[in-house]
């Protein structure tokens, strides 16, 4: 179960604190269950914009684990068995794959969408400006690069065909002459006055439920104690495909029958300011 792909800032403590590790023997899981197990271990740490995940040591199961990111370099050193820790900014898609061979075919994969939140309690007033120029800041075909933590963005760069980029600023975005988002690229720009609230410590007895999962035509989002404030649905590329605000209810249903089939991430903000994320599959 070696051949752990890509790179990562890492720490390997002797004691693992994940509850899931204590409850489940990952070496006895199926290929898909192991992919889900690793995906579920992705959690925010106590440090600013830092996440961790766990790779179990199962030398005899013959499986290969690959951790890939749509934005490089998210990982800066080799991924290892044990606890791995890394830092992100913006929105990053991570794909966990468990494969029966080192050639990475016939894999069971789980995509995750990780969001930068206001973990550092950074004021919007402290966000820097950025100038994106041509050709230094051009985004090449196949790349996914987002600029989301800036006060003002001025861009004259090129976003090539089959490239993906999102510009988000708190004050202004200026697309000046020579800026070009070519046909076949995916480009979005928006103004957001302040970053979303930090993820507060979640009450384990007040968890959001998303069902059915997998879903076909409708997704139900419910909770028992705290009312829902807003719900956002994202695809694995970080594109927001549905949004519902000012809900003030304990349950809300999303009509998804016109969406493409695949993996999605549900972001739920509660009226107490906490945020929870749930993965859902549309089949």
Q: Which domain holds residue 236?
A: 209-282
Q: What is the pLDDT of residue 238?
A: 67
Question: 110 and 54: one domain?
Answer: yes
CATH number at residue 219: 2.60.40.1930
| Residue-level pLDDT at 133 | 93
Q: Are residues 106 and 128 in the same domain?
A: no
- Give CA–CA dist 162/230, Å, rounded: 31
Tell me what pLDDT residue 240 has.
83
Cβ proximity of 204 and 225 under 8 Å: no
Answer with the one of 138, 165, 191 that is the final residue of a domain. Answer: 191
Rounded to two decimals, the pTM is 0.42
Q: Which residues contact 27 (CB under 8 A, 6 or more apart)?
A: 56, 58, 60, 61
pLDDT at 204: 52
Domain end position, chosen among 88, 115, 142: 115
Q: Answer yes or no: do 23 and 83 share one domain.
A: yes
What pLDDT, on a 0 to 100 scale, did the predictor assign at position 192? Answer: 72
- Residue 9 maps to a domain: no
Can you tell me the distance from the alpha carbon of 237 to that of 163, in angstroms, rounded to the nearest whole number?
11
- Whether 141 and 228 share a structural domain: no
DSSP symbols for 46-100: SSTTEEEEEE---TTS--EEEEEESSTTS--SB--SEEEEEE--SEEEEEEEEES
Cβ atoms of 132 and 103 within 8 Å: the answer is no
What is the number of structural domains in the chain?
A: 3
CA distance 11 to 101: 27
Residues of the chain with pLDDT under 70: 1-24, 45-48, 70-78, 89-91, 113, 115-126, 193-205, 236-238
Sheet of 144-155, strands arranged across: 130-132, 144-155, 164-175, 186-191
Beta bridge partners of 281: 263
Residues 187, 262 share a domain: no
221, 271: one domain: yes
Q: Is residue 53 part of a domain?
A: yes
pLDDT score at 65: 87
Rounded Cα distance between 237 and 241, Å, is 11
Residues 110 and 66 in one domain: yes
Please answer whether residues 77 and 8 qualify as being in contact, where contact means their C-beta atoms are separated by less than 8 angstroms.
yes
Please tell me whether residues 222 and 276 are part of one structural domain: yes
Same domain, 106 and 36: yes
Residue 61 lies in a domain: yes
pLDDT for 146:
80
Long-range contacts of 240-248 (CB under 8 A, 24+ apart): none
Is 13 inside any structural domain?
Answer: no
Does residue 199 lie within any of the structural domains? no
Residue 246 lies in a domain: yes
């Amino acid at each position: 179960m070696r051949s752990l792909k890509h790179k990562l800032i890492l720490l390997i403590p002797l004691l693992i604190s994940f509850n899931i590790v204590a409850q489940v023997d990952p070496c006895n899981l199926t290929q898909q269950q192991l992919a889900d197990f690793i995906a579920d271990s992705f959690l925010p740490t106590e440090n600013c914009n830092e996440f961790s995940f766990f790779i179990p040591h199962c030398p005899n199961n013959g499986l290969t684990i690959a951790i890939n990111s749509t934005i490089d370099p998210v990982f800066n050193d080799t991924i290892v068995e044990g606890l791995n820790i890394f830092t992100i900014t913006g929105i990053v898609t991570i794909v966990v794959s468990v494969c029966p061979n080192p050639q990475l075919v016939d894999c069971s994969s789980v995509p995750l969408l990780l969001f930068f939140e206001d973990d550092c309690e950074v004021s919007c007033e402290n966000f820097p400006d950025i100038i994106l120029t041509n050709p230094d800041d051009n985004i090449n075909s196949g790349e996914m690069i987002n600029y989301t933590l800036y006060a003002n963005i001025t861009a004259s760069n090129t976003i090539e065909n089959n490239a993906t980029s999102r510009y988000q600023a708190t004050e202004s975005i200026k697309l000046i002459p020579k800026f070009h988002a070519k046909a076949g690229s995916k480009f979005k720009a928006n103004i957001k006055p302040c970053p979303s609230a930090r993820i507060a410590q979640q009450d384990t007895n007040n968890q959001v439920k998303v069902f059915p999962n997998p879903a076909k035509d409708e997704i139900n989002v419910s909770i028992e104690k705290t009312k829902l404030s807003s719900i956002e649905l994202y695809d694995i590329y970080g594109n927001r495909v549905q949004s519902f605000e000012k809900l003030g209810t304990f349950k809300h249903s999303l009509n998804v029958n016109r969406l493409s089939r695949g993996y999605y991430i549900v972001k739920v903000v509660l009226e107490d300011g906490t945020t929870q994320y749930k993965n859902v599959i549309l089949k």
